[in-house]
Amino acid sequence: MTYTKIVKPILFKMDPEKAHHLTIKGMKVAHQVPGMLSILRALYRTAPNLSLQQNIAGVTFDNPIGLAAGLDKNAEAVPSFSSLGFGFMEVGTVTPKAQPGNEKPRMFRLPDDKALINRMGFNNVGAEALRQNLSVMKQRNIPIAINLGKNKNTANEHAEEDYVQGLRILYTYGDFFVINISSPNTPDLRHLQFGEALHKLLDAVTKERDKLQAESKDHKKPIFVKIAPDVNASELKEILQVICLYDIAGMVVSNTTIARNNVTHSHASETGGLSGYPLKNTSTTLIRDVYKITEGKLPIIGSGGIFTGEDAYEKIRAGASLVEIYTALIYEGPKLISKLNKQLSSLLERDGFHHISEAIGVDVE
């Protein structure tokens, strides 16, 4: 109530990117105030529910609701976000070198459509600075995924070098990693999803991960690949054929879309990636296709248009083991996280499932 009645109206009067930075700054300050994390946990976290707990690729998740990449790009407020009731969160996208991103304005709200458009362009402080931000954390309450990208000025022919460098710098600090080759806001990035470019990238990244694992004597960190929602059926099969040749733990389905289906707001003409409710059905269909093609053997993190427990449940029944939110958090506030978990529990019980794993992919023929 406080968010929707007080905080949201104030933030929505501001430029979207300024509101974003103010939110991150506020969350960063919050975890520096003694006792504030305990207050956040008391306000927003729900009691652990065994029916929602899972172990995927060696990582334990207390619940399936995650925070998608893009909100805490530089891992500045991880302790605070970790206290809101998420089952996991992504930080980044991070590139080896710091970069300013695209020209402003580059973020737009579409309230009538419950959507956002962004063309940020991987603006971030760089891998070394993000490493420093994560290194000062005394403890982590939830799994942290690090979303890796390439610098804008790095040619696709050398893209694997950026991903390998990012992995090398940050390997100690991530519980798992997401290879982002699907943002529409870095020129030609999406070309890395196909053919020899994808082979070259995954070969380099998995070899580096194995090397780092051997050197650290740590357990093998899972790697997920994040794909675009705008691929066609033949492109999807091509992507999955390559991915299944490598030791990839799972997929994130999906990134933002360049399509503008069922979008009515005047900002619809802005270039960039669309997120939020208009992406819901597209991402769910893609999840179902990935699950079917891989015969359910490749865990999926579903992302795109989740505003209710029913939305999340649809993606789980389509094949997602975990789901992520971002845009809905902007519109609904942090109470949404516990709401989604409670609704999911009720939906599982309604359908006679004792554990979330029983519902994964049940709608796929």
- Confidence at residue 232, expressed as pLDDT on a 0 to 100 scale: 96
Ordered domains of the chain (ranges, CATH):
2-358 (3.20.20.70)
Q: What is the C-alpha to C-alpha distance for residues 207 and 131, in angstroms, rounded to an integer?
A: 21
**pLDDT surpassing 70 at residue 204:** yes
Q: Model confidence at 81, in pLDDT bands (50, 70, 90)?
A: very high
Residue labelled with tokens 């207050």: 39
Close Cβ partners of 172 (under 8 Å, ≥ 6 residues apart): 216, 218
Q: What is the DSSP string of 28-83?
A: HHHTTSTTHHHHHHHHHPPPP-GGG-EEETTEEESSSEEEPTTSSTT-SSHHHHTT
- Confidence at residue 1, expressed as pLDDT on a 0 to 100 scale: 58
The CA-atom distances, in angstroms, between 278 and each of 5, 70, 117, 305 are 24, 18, 11, 6
- Confidence at residue 138, expressed as pLDDT on a 0 to 100 scale: 76
Q: Tens of pLDDT along 129-144?
A: 999 999 998 778 899 9
Q: What is the DSSP string of 88-119?
A: EEEEEEE-SS-B--SPSP-EEEEGGGTEEEE-
- Confidence at residue 274, expressed as pLDDT on a 0 to 100 scale: 98
**pLDDT surpassing 90 at residue 42:** yes
- Confidence at residue 70, expressed as pLDDT on a 0 to 100 scale: 96
Mean pLDDT of 72-89: 97
Q: Tens of pLDDT along 246-288?
A: 999 999 999 999 999 989 999 999 999 999 999 999 999 999 9
Q: For residue 147, which amino acid is it?
A: N
Question: Can 275 be counted among the known catalytic residues?
Answer: no
Q: What is the DSSP string of 120-162?
A: --S-B--HHHHHHHHHT-S--SS-EEEEE---TTS-GGGHHHH
Q: Tens of pLDDT along 7-39?
A: 999 999 999 999 999 999 999 999 999 999 999
As to burial, measured by CB atoms within 10 angstroms (0-12 exposed, 13-18 middle, 19+ buried), residue 335 is: middle
| Residue 157 near residue 102, CB atoms below 8 Å | no
Residue labelled with tokens 């089952």: 87
- DSSP code, position 257: B
Looking at 183, 321, 338, 345, which residue is catalytic? Answer: 183
Element (H, E) at 282: helix 280-293
Q: Tens of pLDDT along 211-246?
A: 999 998 888 899 999 999 999 999 999 999 999 999
**pLDDT surpassing 80 at residue 309:** yes
Residue labelled with tokens 């520096």: 32
Q: What is the C-alpha to C-alpha distance for residues 226 and 223, in angstroms, rounded to an integer?
A: 10
Q: What is the C-alpha to C-alpha distance for residues 9 and 340, in angstroms, rounded to an integer?
A: 23
- Confidence at residue 217, expressed as pLDDT on a 0 to 100 scale: 83
Instruction: Give CA 166 to chain center in angstroms.
Output: 17
- Confidence at residue 46, expressed as pLDDT on a 0 to 100 scale: 85
Q: Model confidence at 2, in pLDDT bands (50, 70, 90)?
A: confident
Q: Tens of pLDDT along 153-195?
A: 999 999 999 999 999 999 999 999 999 999 999 999 999 999 9
Q: Tens of pLDDT along 323-354?
A: 999 999 999 999 999 999 999 999 999 999 99
